[in-house]
Chains A and B, each alone.
Chain A
Amino acid sequence: MTQLNIPIESTTLPNGLRVVISPDRTAPVATVGVYYNIGFRIEPRGRSGFAHLFEHMMFQGSANAGKMVHIKLINSSGGVLNGSTHYDVTNYYESVPSNALERVLWLEADRMRALKVDDENLRNQRDVVKEEVRVNVLNQPYGGFPWLDLPPIAYRNWSNAHNFYGDFDDLDAATLDDVQKFFKTYYAPSNAVLLVLGDVDTDEAIKLAERHFASIPSGPQPQHADIDEPPQLDERRGVVEEKFGTLPGVAIGHQAPRRLTPEWYAAAMLDQALHGGRAGRVYRRLVLEQQIAVDAEGGIHYPVGDLFDYNGPTLMVTRILHKPEYSVDQTIAAYDEILDEMKEKGITGDELEPIKVKFRSNYFSMLEGGHGASIPRYGLMHLLACFSLFDNEPQLVNSILDGFMEVPAEAVQSIAQKLFTRHNRSIAIRQPAKKGAV
């Protein structure tokens, strides 16, 4: 096995901002990220969708860089930029030729220091966000299935259960005052981590980080939010109408273990056994062999997150589109057989060893690329950020694989027995409004 030895240097500025540097000088490009320890889970009540709307506002202007300056400066330096809102973090990132590094840090520092936006900006981005929701959810077949369908079925705490993209009434109700309050509460340096990766010298990058970020005043730490769920006692089910698509959909979610626990490592191997592509048991059985489904995939914290980027309750999800000649109950029964077999017979070493090889291989690819195809090392940045904000230990990137490679076969069976119970699961059904529109 290849032991990972990614160079990682980290420090904390006096104002509480964590800084993580990971140099690699093979190509003259650098990736910079700023992650804030706030996601859509704990946005204010009555303001569903606000964390994401706020993310848009962070591109609308800061103290010394007005509207459009961020985008213009990054693009005209030969770089690309974006941001994204997750359950528990929100990120802002840029990839640029490395000669633009200081410029990027200046921009990120400027918007960490002070947001300078007006009502016009808010109205504009509210409209943009509504079109984003329409293009991704309301006007697409299977839009939001199951990432927006499952939470209200599976959870009782509003933080975990609400519409993360936002009800339009809530988006309309958002004010500039909300924006500044949210910024003050959650965007303090001590609630963030700055990451610099790629073609940089470590000492120089730390000096640049100090130059631009150290004078940002520290703010109070946000209060700890209650995101706990009361114990689940029964299976939960809900039905959502599918306006466009022609096939019925079923998504089954089981409450997943907390990160970094022994059960979590085992659950990751279980997940790979079930959802590891066409060799995984779910796809093989439901799509290739029994041919009940035309598609079946899933994962832990799927589909808008992964094993590493959650810090509260989440689900191991399987998403199935099945043929209309099978009922929902028949589909779920076939799925249950797969789970029951895992619970009863477990997994042999002959199946588990290749799963570990594949897991390791996937991990390497994630480090290099990850979800942002045009952002070199997006995945490494994302992992470093989550390990910094959630665990205060970015070095886990180098050692975390060991825990997965050591999972014994018996642990996979045990965690299957523990997770796959009726009272630990929720089911979202997408029912097509029109049958086989041909």
Chain B
Amino acid sequence: MASVPRSETPSTIPALTAARPVIWPARVHKTLSNGLEIVLVESHTIPKFTGELFFRSGNAVVAAQAPGLADMTATVARTGTTRRTSREIEEDLRRMGADLSSGAGADNSVISFEGLVDFSNELLGLVSELAQHASFPIDEFERERRQLIEGLRIERTTPGFLASERMRRVLFGSHPYGTISPTEEQVAGYTVERLKDYYRSFYRPGNALLVMVGDFAPEKMLERIETIFGSWVDVPVEKAADPDLPDLPGRSVYLVHLPGSVQTQLSVANRAITRKHPDWMKLTLANSIYGGAFNSRLVMNIREEKGYTYSPRSGAHPLRQHGYFSIGAAVRNDVVAAALTEIFYEIDLMRSTPVGEAELDDARSYMTGVFSLGLATQDGLAGQLATATLEKLPDDYLETYRERILKLTSADVLEAAQKYFDSAHAQIVIVGDREQIESQAAQFGAPEVYDAQGNRI
């Protein structure tokens, strides 16, 4: 039973107590003789483990011939091996209490898995089989191809997708990063042979990274992994091309016409930098102050003061060769111009006026705190390790992350904003019903108008 309460509750905000340090769990980082890189960390929160087997090649490496082919390869790779049918794979996974998924983005392909530790040997065996002995059954391929085409048709009615697609095309042009999704015709051109080619070329141990976090002893787990993956044969892998990027014009407006829209999706972006760039931390801190947190300036302005939108956010997006900074908001149709005005007002304020100490301090605390939260679950830990290792960041990148954030200054934020929040060259994509929004869009430049299929109209 509770003790007798105090009669008064404090009306002032309690201070923070002394922070407890983050204790870094022991990490095993090793590369096998066939080139497979392995990162293992123990985490005993639940009797499970989670893992990701990455290949450092994705859609970008085949963009010139067949956009999206890496993703399709990963999708079909889980539907059959030389030893198991699709149904056997799914039922084996269930028997092990496991989940598995596969896919590819621009830079990486990945097989993600998680399951009960009691079955870790068996699950790793299956993952190894999918990585080395996928059989690409023709009927599974045809089924997946049809599902992909139906999925693409639905994506072409989704404002968020249409905004990202147009923005990436504007920022990166014919560079592989300029295409986020294949056309139906391109998907129709896929063949099982092309998938197998991709698989043989890029699913190789020297191109791979295995990250695992869970309720296991790392040294023992490493032995098992060596047994299961040790005989995998390596061949050299071709790197993705990095053709020249298009010259970007000054501020320009692109309107994607989606008839019947009762809301408008706004996207404003500039090309920026990768995670390896020396300015990366400065940019992320500036982003957090601008629009990366609930408590950020943009959210306060266009949501909490003006009520234009539900979930405005900005983000710094690192790809392997390049990056971009973007702002997104789905706004009421009659405030398209007003919302853009505020977006640019806040950008220009960040570029012209140094952030005060109190706001800076809040933002640094936010960044370091959220980083710690990300280490408290198996999934979160695996994600952080993957980020650091995939891009070959320094070994102590995670351990030193918080102290590096805490050292950043108001001048650093100003510098990042001036370099990367480039309002004069910002690209603006607007997705909505042309009749309702075009005149507002035109206040920011004569819009190039496209339909939802990507045709200029």
- Decide yes or no: A131 and B365 within 8 Å by CB, A99-B17, A109-B9, A141-B157 being known contacts: no
Task: From the candidates A77, A127, A361, name the one contacting B369 in the complex (CB within 8 A).
Answer: A77
Question: Would B308 and A103 count as touching, CB distance under 8 A?
Answer: no
Task: Of the listed stretches B146-154, B168-176, B272-280, name the one at the interface; the rest are far from the partner chain.
Answer: B146-154
**For A360, what are the chain B residues with a Cβ–Cβ distance below 8 Å?**
97, 116
> Considering the complex, which residues of chain A in the window 160-212 have a beta carbon less than 8 Å from any beta carbon of chain B?
198-199, 206-207, 210-212
- Does any Cβ of B come within 8 Å of A417's Cβ? no
Q: A272: nearest residue on chain B (CB-CB)?
A: B94
- Does any Cβ of A come within 8 Å of B238's Cβ? no
> Considering the complex, which residues of chain A in the window 262-310 have a beta carbon less than 8 Å from any beta carbon of chain B?
276-279, 284, 287-288, 291, 294-295
Question: Would B262 and A139 count as touching, CB distance under 8 A?
Answer: yes
Tell me the bound Cα distance from A32 to B408 in angstroms.
Answer: 30
Tell me the bound Cα distance from A361 to B370 in angstroms.
Answer: 27
- Decide yes or no: A438 and B154 within 8 Å by CB, A128-B309, A135-B263 being known contacts: no
Question: Would A215 and B372 count as touching, CB distance under 8 A?
Answer: no
- Does any Cβ of B come within 8 Å of A311's Cβ? no
Task: From the candidates A128, A206, A436, name the one contacting B2 in the complex (CB within 8 A).
Answer: A206
Question: Would B16 and A77 count as touching, CB distance under 8 A?
Answer: yes
- Does any Cβ of A come within 8 Å of B448's Cβ? no
**For B9, what are the chain A residues with a Cβ–Cβ distance below 8 Å?**
109, 113, 211-213, 215-216
Question: Would A127 and B332 count as touching, CB distance under 8 A?
Answer: yes
**For B373, what are the chain A residues with a Cβ–Cβ distance below 8 Å?**
29, 78-80, 95-97, 374-376
Encode contact with B along A309-338: 1 for CB under 8 Å, 0 otherwise: 000000000000101000000000000000
Q: B8: nearest residue on chain A (CB-CB)?
A: A215
Question: Would B157 and A437 count as touching, CB distance under 8 A?
Answer: yes
Encode contact with B along A137-160: 1 for CB under 8 Å, 0 otherwise: 011111000000000000000000
Task: From the candidates A27, A96, A130, A243, name the one contacting B22 in the complex (CB within 8 A).
Answer: A27
Would you give the shortest CB distance from B385 to chain A, in whole angstroms? Answer: 15
- Does any Cβ of A come within 8 Å of B184's Cβ? yes
Question: Would B2 and A14 count as touching, CB distance under 8 A?
Answer: yes
Question: Would B380 and A361 count as touching, CB distance under 8 A?
Answer: no
**For A78, what are the chain B residues with a Cβ–Cβ distance below 8 Å?**
365-370, 372-373
- Does any Cβ of B come within 8 Å of A134's Cβ? yes
- Does any Cβ of A come within 8 Å of B21's Cβ? yes
Would you give the shortest CB distance from B315 to chain A, in whole angstroms? Answer: 14
Q: A370: nearest residue on chain B (CB-CB)?
A: B377
Q: A359: nearest residue on chain B (CB-CB)?
A: B97
Question: Would A131 and B20 count as touching, CB distance under 8 A?
Answer: no
Q: What band does the interface of chain B fall in when counting residues whose beta carbon is under 8 Å from A?
A: 35 or more
**For B20, what are the chain A residues with a Cβ–Cβ distance below 8 Å?**
28, 97-99, 199
Would you give the shortest CB distance from A98 to chain B, in whole angstroms? Answer: 6
**For A357, what are the chain B residues with a Cβ–Cβ distance below 8 Å?**
94-97, 116
> Considering the complex, which residues of chain B in the window 269-317 have a beta carbon less than 8 Å from any beta carbon of chain A?
293-295, 300, 303-311
Task: Of the listed stretches A66-74, A231-239, A388-396, A405-413, name the one at the interface; the rest are far from the partner chain.
Answer: A66-74
Question: Would B6 and A365 count as touching, CB distance under 8 A?
Answer: no
Would you give the shortest CB distance from A378 to chain B, in whole angstroms? Answer: 10
> Considering the complex, which residues of chain A in the window 395-438 have a beta carbon less than 8 Å from any beta carbon of chain B?
436-438
**For A295, what are the chain B residues with a Cβ–Cβ distance below 8 Å?**
147
- Does any Cβ of B come within 8 Å of A229's Cβ? no
Encode contact with A along B16-28: 1 for CB under 8 Å, 0 otherwise: 1111111000000
- Does any Cβ of A come within 8 Å of B376's Cβ? yes
- Does any Cβ of A come within 8 Å of B99's Cβ? yes
Task: From the candidates B97, B150, B295, B332, name the one contacting A131 in the complex (CB within 8 A).
Answer: B332
Tell me the bound Cα distance from A430 to B379 in angstroms.
Answer: 35
Would you give the shortest CB distance from A401 to chain B, in whole angstroms? Answer: 12
Tell me the bound Cα distance from A422 to B368 in angstroms.
Answer: 55
Task: From the candidates B97, B156, B331, name the one contacting A358 in the complex (CB within 8 A).
Answer: B97
> Considering the complex, which residues of chain B in the window 393-421 have a beta carbon less than 8 Å from any beta carbon of chain A?
none
Question: Would A139 and B159 count as touching, CB distance under 8 A?
Answer: yes
Q: A360: nearest residue on chain B (CB-CB)?
A: B97
- Does any Cβ of B come within 8 Å of A348's Cβ? no
**For A340, what are the chain B residues with a Cβ–Cβ distance below 8 Å?**
none
- Does any Cβ of B come within 8 Å of A223's Cβ? no
- Decide yes or no: A124 and B307 within 8 Å by CB, A78-B366, A357-B96 being known contacts: yes
Question: Would B2 and A12 count as touching, CB distance under 8 A?
Answer: yes
Tell me the bound Cα distance from A321 to B453 in angstroms.
Answer: 22
Task: From the candidates A63, A276, A361, A438, name the one contacting B48 in the complex (CB within 8 A).
Answer: A361
Would you give the shortest CB distance from A350 to chain B, in whole angstroms? Answer: 10
Task: From the candidates B150, B330, B362, name the one contacting A323 in the complex (CB within 8 A).
Answer: B150
Encode contact with A along B75-103: 1 for CB under 8 Å, 0 otherwise: 00000000000110011011111110000
Encode contact with B along A109-145: 1 for CB under 8 Å, 0 otherwise: 1000100000000011111111110110011111000
Question: Would A68 and B97 count as touching, CB distance under 8 A?
Answer: no
Task: From the candidates A2, A75, A128, name the one contacting B307 in the complex (CB within 8 A).
Answer: A128
**For A215, what are the chain B residues with a Cβ–Cβ distance below 8 Å?**
5-9
Question: Would A354 and B332 count as touching, CB distance under 8 A?
Answer: no
Q: Which 5 A-B pairs have the closest CB atoms?
A: A78-B369, A214-B5, A361-B97, A127-B307, A76-B362
14 contacts between A and B (CB under 8 A): A73-B13, A76-B365, A97-B369, A106-B10, A127-B308, A127-B332, A131-B308, A141-B157, A211-B9, A244-B157, A354-B91, A354-B95, A361-B98, A364-B47
Q: What residues make up the interface of A, taking CB atoms closer than 8 Å to B?
A: 2, 11-14, 19, 24, 26-29, 63-65, 67-68, 71-81, 95-103, 106, 109, 113, 123-132, 134-135, 138-142, 198-199, 206-207, 210-216, 243-247, 276-279, 284, 287-288, 291, 294-295, 321, 323, 354-355, 357-358, 360-362, 364-365, 367-369, 373-377, 436-438
Given A109-B9, A277-B99, A437-B156, output 5 extra A-B contacts at Cβ < 8 Å.
Answer: A11-B1, A102-B14, A127-B332, A134-B330, A141-B154
